[in-house]
Amino acid sequence: MKLKITLIALFSCVILFSQNFSEVQLPTPDKLNPFFIGPLFKSTIHYGVTPPNYNGKVILFNHGYIDLNQTQFLFDNSFYKKTYNEGYQAVFVATTRGGGIWVNGELLAESIDIITERYNVPNVYVVAHSNGGKAAEAAMIEYGKKDKVEQVFALGTPYWGTYLADISQMPWLNWAWRLTGLNEGAVTSTTYYCRDVVRPYLDNNPNNEPDKFIVLGASGYFNGSNLLARAAFTVTGGILLPIQGANDGVAPYRSTLRPGAEYVFRKNDYRAFFDHIDVSFGQFSWPYVKSYIQNRSQKNNQPFETETHDNFSTESNYYIIHSENEYDQIILDKNSTFAVAEILHESPTADFKGFNKDQTQIKILKNHSEKGHKTVIPFSESNIQLKSDSRFAAFIKQNNGITMSLKHLIKNTHPTLKVDLSSTQKDYELLVNTEVRGVIIKTSEIDGTHLQNDPEIISFDEKNGSFYFDTKDLEEGVYSLFLNSESKGNFKRSIISGFVVGDISKALSTNENVDIINETNRSMQITPNSVKDQAQLSLQGYDISEKLSLIVYDITGKKIINFVVPVNQNSQYDISEKLRPLSGGIYLLQVNNMKTVKFVKE
């Protein structure tokens, strides 16, 4: 590939401007400088050179992230070169980095108008990588550009979301999403947002034309050719694989199956053993894109198991411990002989040590470690504290067959969460006296507008062996959920998920601002927020009569201590003595069953 050319090519690019886009004219592929850097902070349209053998067809490439858009025509990606040589007009569109499906969809719709007018064509072919595929459907369905799009080729698009985005909505775990470099836009990429908002809203829209979508879903997160990218994506695949099955390191294969679309590859198809970066490269995907453009009538009649709202459940045979919590320990379930810790860590060179209940260091064996922030460690002892020089989250898996599952039962506009516990080894006695609890955080409005809220504690009621939480008393919005079940001395299980409350169609079809209760005169805080020896609780604007009833929970929603303090006139309360005995970690303090505030104990 002819990459060594002079830097003069960089200055040969002509920059134009539209209302929301920078417009950049690229040189021919053979003269494109590999060090070319276009606009990185503004939505951009990069125009390829019109080939001398132009066939009248325009291909719009959309990644969905500004600073990754250029990977579609640089860094050994052959899309530009191949389309140019074969007579297609290539245009590369970057929308935003963190706008999400609706913002990016509206921008993409605008770019489609600009491009069709510029080249005087009735429509374009869209080759969309990752979240670009969701922007494409929003542009066509919500923003009225379906007649200007001939086909969409979705490369690794998580139409049903990704579990990694679910993790990112937990404030104490969002560093894990940042490892991929795709830390923005996660709000509308969660599995629950895509399932509860995006899919029902778009799939049932009269403007939906599913037969225009061609899906290329990859299955080989472990087999990427781009070694620099693999370090970031391998770790995500290591967590995704046991939870959502075959995946490319970001998008689970099942999640790429847009309802009604044409699917090029089956799950684990040997032709699709490449990762989330490689699926965006022309040398992997262009032969299939080209064949469909040239022969639109071809059909893959193989049956595919697609997601639906009814079969969408989340299962767990693990519980989660966090590096900041000294109270978190690796505890073997009753009847378990060993546990395996699949550890996601921020530093790629993280070192781990284990300590028993006497704080004596034990020997641990890393039986598997992947470059890219993942380590697997087996344990045959219980009550082990895991320490590291890096932030981490460990998924502790047991060998006793106990599984927790979460389903959403739709009831008007407020779903009911249903939790079931089962054992494949018939150890049903371990399930007695089980408590199911959760920590929820309202993370966004239904339209994806990001919010910052304090966590709340919820508890589930048991009925006929299942556990239920009705969301009827929650206000409209999108909620993350850290779900935990526990039978003391028997087992623990965790799930990170979420849910949506409210009328989806009404929320997305109106642009009216949601009325927000003005709480500017109310405040509740612990100072310092990172508590060591001293802790002061400050309350302003709350009508409290005689006493404060305070409850401290750990990060799983488990009650640790409760105490009462008398009300005073200045609303300042010294709670140092009560918090001082706590082990280090993240806690939630609830006041009079009203507001909950998070704090860290050093």
> For position 337, which CATH number holds?
2.60.120
Q: Which domain holds residue 32?
A: 8-294
Is 513 among the domain residues?
A: no
Domain boundary among 398, 418, 442: 398
> For position 218, which CATH number holds?
3.40.50
Same domain? 377 vs 411? no
Q: What is the pLDDT of residue 13?
A: 40
Same domain? 447 vs 328? no
Same domain? 223 vs 264? yes
Report whether 478 contacts 444 (CB < 8 A): yes
Is 242 among the domain residues?
A: yes
Residue 396, token pair as written in the block = 């502790």
Same domain? 45 vs 170? yes
Q: What is the pLDDT of residue 449?
A: 87
Same domain? 110 vs 173? yes
State how many domains the chain has. 4
Same domain? 181 vs 271? yes
Q: Shortest CA distance to 438 belongs to which of 394, 477, 469?
A: 469
Same domain? 221 vs 355? no
Same domain? 89 vs 236? yes
Q: Within a 10 A sphere around the Cβ of 224, how many other Cβ atoms?
A: 24
Residues of the chain with pLDDT below 50 are 1-17, 226-232, 511-519
Domain boundary among 278, 294, 310: 294
Same domain? 124 vs 226? yes
Pairing of strands 262-263, 213-216: parallel
Q: What is the pLDDT of residue 88?
A: 97
φ and ψ at 85, to 5 degrees?
Answer: -65, -25
Same domain? 151 vs 30? yes
Same domain? 419 vs 432? yes
Predicted TM-score (pTM) above 0.85: yes
Same domain? 254 vs 358? no
Q: What is the dihedral of CA 438, 324, 434, 406, to 10 degrees?
A: 50
